Amino acid sequence: MTQVDVQLPIMQAVACGIQAPNPHNTQAWKLRLTSDVEALLYIDEGRLLPATDPPARQIHIGAGCFVETLAVGMRARDYETDVEYLPEGPYGLDEVGHKPVARITLRPARSTAPGGGAGAAGLAGAIGRRQTNRRAYGGPRLTDGESNEIQARLAATTAGTTVEVVTLTDPGEIRPLLDIFRRAMEIEMTTRHLYEETRIWFRFDERQRQTRRDGLSLPQMGVDGLRRRIGEWALGHGDPRRWFRPRNVRTGLATFRRGVDSARGVILLETATNTQADWLDAGRAFARLQLVLTTMGLTSQPNSQVLQEYREMAALQAELNRLRDVREPRKVRMALRVGRARRAYAAPRRDPDTLIIDAPS
């Protein structure tokens, strides 16, 4: 770990970015600091998901989330963030972690309003409250007014990109999507080599959660109190024989289905093309979307298993594309259920210093 001054503007930025949503909470980011206000962002190749994310598409979406969360947080600290995607050009899977995803440069904001104005401050204030909430949702359905507000507040972020935000409130449109989400998770949880990847990233008690400060866990799934203690005991602290026991898989699927069935709306992020830049743009839009939802008193959970590009999911993904009339090169990048729920367990994040691989002396 490289020791750097946490008060440097670029380290304040990293501390904002590390709070971003990311797949399996892998926090697959590393940075090379080139000055007090500039850094190169890389994918951490030691934190990939090769079974469920073979092209590292989701991991790159997570990098876009990091960039946007960083930019929102620093705007409230009176810095603008300039982002150059892929400064050494697009790269292949074998170059992940060796070529930068983005160059991030901070500069003082021109606005004379402290904190960049109420909008920036409001979104920045949501960073610490934002979470992927896997509980069952309650309350009224997503309204047309809320849908319109989401669209309006994301318009500036998606302008100049190929990202389209699709908000769905009609139960008739939502129902077949929820069925696909349920079937996709069933494929993932009943296919051993896919579900093994979740086991690797699962943290089975509070000691593991506080020591590792990454990954997934039962409390993040909204499992509390005695149910959590019994569940963690039943999973045998990661014993594969317990993890893959049919009863435990069925219990996990039942919890997931209850969550999906409680959706009060569905939001899709689609891109017109399928480039690494599109992946990053989709991540930035998703990160801002979760912040916007948080400020509106809403919460969400990605149900993007059906979008993963491994062989076992191909037929169901084709069914989704037919349903949504999505044709190559257009892609659905993110799919999430939206609703209202009390706050779930807040997963800890790693120390920002642990992301730094090099810093100027």
Tell me, what's the pLDDT at 1?
58
Question: Collapsing DSSP states into helix, strand and coil, what is residue 98?
Answer: coil
pLDDT per 10-residue tile (average), the chain, 361 residues: 85 98 98 98 98 98 98 97 98 98 96 51 93 97 98 96 98 98 98 98 97 97 94 94 97 97 98 98 98 98 98 98 98 98 95 93 64
Within a domain: 309: yes
Tell me, what's the pLDDT at 111?
63
CA gap 175, 263 in Å, rounded: 9
Q: How many helices (H) and strands (E) does the chain have?
A: 12, 9
pTM: 0.96
Within a domain: 218: no
E-strand ranges in the chain read: 29-35, 38-43, 79-85, 102-108, 163-168, 265-271, 299-302, 331-339, 356-358
Within a domain: 342: yes
Within a domain: 181: no
Domain count, the chain: 1
Within a domain: 132: yes
Within a domain: 239: no
Tell me, what's the pLDDT at 116?
44
Tell me, what's the pLDDT at 90?
97
CA gap 9, 68 in Å, rounded: 16
Boundaries of domain holding 155: 9-170+263-358
Task: Compute CA distances 8 → 39, 135, 176, whole Å.
Answer: 12, 37, 49
Within a domain: 256: no
Q: What is the CATH number of the domain that holds 327?
A: 3.40.109.10
Question: Collapsing DSSP states into helix, strand and coil, what is residue 335?
Answer: strand
Cβ partners under 8 Å of residue 144, min gap 6: 169
Within a domain: 195: no
Tell me, what's the pLDDT at 34?
97
